[in-house]
Amino acid sequence: MKVCVAAVGRLKPGSGLAAAIRDYEDRLHRCFRFTTVEVAPAGLPDSQAERARKEEGRALARGIPDELELVALTRKGALWSTDRLARYLQDLGDRGRPGAAFAIGGAHGLSGEFMGRSTHRVSVSAMTLPHEMARLVLSEQLYRAAMIHRNHPYHKGK
């Protein structure tokens, strides 16, 4: 199964969060055909937030393989438990789907057009998180979901 994390913004070299994200993403390579897509923020002022969302959404879409189901991360999305995420990934395989792409927007979020293309809208927190923090939570939860399927003792949240 393919899993892709697509994000607006690059990891800050040398940051502790970046190191933790890389650690989980390295682990994910052993669980899935895992890829990341990073696109640059539009760099527009807040007064042009809608334009920024559209530009960033188009850039993300270009990097995401068409065959993957799109999961948009948004604080207004459904709150999935770890077990729900694990069931979703298992269900993709059961339905013969090639995988999923999880998209993290920039400072202004994801465009309505991009959100409209998504199969699911999921929140990692009701709170607004910095880009790298959201990516860390997502990568850890993807890894945890994979460990649930392997009956690995990493997940003790029963």
Q: Is the model's pTM score more than 0.75?
A: yes
* pLDDT over 80 at 157, yes or no: no
The residue ranges of every structural domain in the chain are 2-149
Q: How many CB atoms lie within 10 A of CB 6?
A: 26
Q: How far is CA 40 from the centre of its chain?
A: 16
Buried b (16+ CB within 10 A) or exposed e, 29-47: eebbebbbbbbebbebeee
Nearest by Cα to 35 from 60, 72, 55: 60
- Per-residue pLDDT at 155: 53
Query: Are 4 and 64 contacting, i.e. CB atoms less than 8 angstroms apart?
Result: yes
Spatial separation of the C-alpha atoms in residues 41 and 38, rounded to whole Å: 9
* pLDDT over 90 at 85, yes or no: yes
* pLDDT over 90 at 154, yes or no: no
Tens digits of residue pLDDT in 41-58:
999 999 999 999 999 999
Under CATH, domain 2-149 is a member of which superfamily? SPOUT methyltransferase, trefoil knot domain (3.40.1280.10)
